[in-house]
């Protein structure tokens, strides 16, 4: 978020406000979506816990599977880097995005199972 604002400020200094509008709008949109999502997910209802045992267990299993999958993602990225398909600066971003996507996919898969 802060980096988007700094990027927009740098664009504003270099070329004017028209170039800086898009990163600012993207940052404000992400902030608004995050605030609404946090409000909806973490509203405490009197007498109910915020997370139950099944939710904690699904998150724990999903994190384990995502870690296991991310090892293979990092190995594939290292193979692609050594064969000059992607450059060094893209590896970290692709690895982090791959880890996040593998967590979301494993969480969605495990959340649908009833025997957890």
Nearest Cα to 69, choosing from 112, 103, 107? 103
Nearest Cα to 103, choosing from 63, 72, 55? 63
Interacting residues of 63 by C-beta distance below 8 A, sequence separation 6+: 103
Q: What pLDDT band is residue 43 in, cutting at 50, 70 and 90? A: low
Q: What pLDDT band is residue 74 in, cutting at 50, 70 and 90? A: very high
Identify the H or E element spanning 81. helix 53-82
Range 24-33 contact pairs with CB under 8 angstroms and sequence separation of 24 or more:
27/1, 30/1, 30/4, 31/1
Q: What pLDDT band is residue 76 in, cutting at 50, 70 and 90? A: very high
């Amino acid at each position: 978020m802060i980096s988007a604002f700094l990027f927009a400020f740098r664009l504003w200094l270099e070329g004017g406000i028209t170039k800086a509008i898009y990163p600012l709008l993207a940052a404000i949109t992400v902030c608004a979506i995050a605030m609404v999502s946090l409000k909806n997910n973490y509203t405490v209802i009197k007498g109910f816990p915020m997370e139950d045992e099944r939710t904690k267990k699904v998150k724990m299993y999903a994190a384990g599977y995502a870690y296991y999958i991310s090892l293979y993602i990092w190995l594939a990225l290292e193979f692609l880097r050594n064969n000059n398909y992607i450059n060094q600066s893209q590896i970290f971003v692709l690895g982090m995005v791959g880890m996040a996507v593998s967590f979301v996919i494993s969480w969605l898969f495990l959340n649908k199972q009833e025997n957890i």
